[in-house]
Copies of this chain bind each other. A is one copy, B any other.
Amino acid sequence: MKKIVLAASLSLLATGLQADDIKPEKAIEYRQSVYNVMGWHFKTMGAMVKGEMPFNKEVFAKKAEIVAFMSPLPGEGFIKGTSSKEVPESKAKAILWEKMDDVKAKSQDSQKETKALAEIAKAGDEKAIKEQFGKTAKTCKACHDDYREE
C-alpha cells in the first residue's frame, strides 16, 4: 500500500488529500492547471465586461459557475516543498507556507466572491454583474500580489 495519508489539518485542502509520495512537480502542475482553467474562463468574462466581445449572459453565467466551482480546488496542490525556492516551475513564493492563515482567509474571500458572481450572473442584471466581476477580480489579485512570483 502506498504511503498516502489523509490530511485533515488544512481547511484549504477542500477535498481532503495530502500525499507523502506525490511528486512536487505533479502538485504544481495540478494547481497551475486549475488556475489555467479558471483563467481561461475568467478572461472571456473580462472581455465581455470590458466590451471587447459581445456580452452573452448565458455564456457569462456558465463561465462564472465554472470559476466558482473550481475556486476551492487549488488548495490540495499546495503541498510542502513546492515553493519557487524549491522547484523552478513553481510560481508560489515560499512565504505562502509561513502565512497560511492569511492564505486561507484570502482563499475563502475569493471563493465567497466567485460564488456571489455566479449567483448574480444567473440573475442576469448586467450592471450588477460587472460590479461583482470587479470585486471578484480584486480577490484574485490580493493573493497574486502577496504570494505569486511575477
Contacts and interface: CB of A to CB of B under 8 A. Distances in A.
A52 B16 contact: no
B52 A2 contact: yes
* Interface size range of chain A in the complex: 20 to 34
A104 interface: no
B40 A36 contact: no
B16 A47 contact: no
Contacts of A36: 29-30, 33
A25 to B, nearest CB: 12
Interface string A29-49: 110111011001100100100
A1 B15 CA distance: 40
Nearest to A38: B33
A17 B43 CA distance: 12
Contacts of A56: 6, 16
Contacts of A80: none
A15 to B, nearest CB: 5
Contacts of A6: 54, 56, 59
Interface of A: 1-2, 4, 6, 14-17, 26, 29-30, 32-34, 36-37, 40-41, 44, 47, 51-54, 56, 58-59, 62-63, 66, 69-70, 73
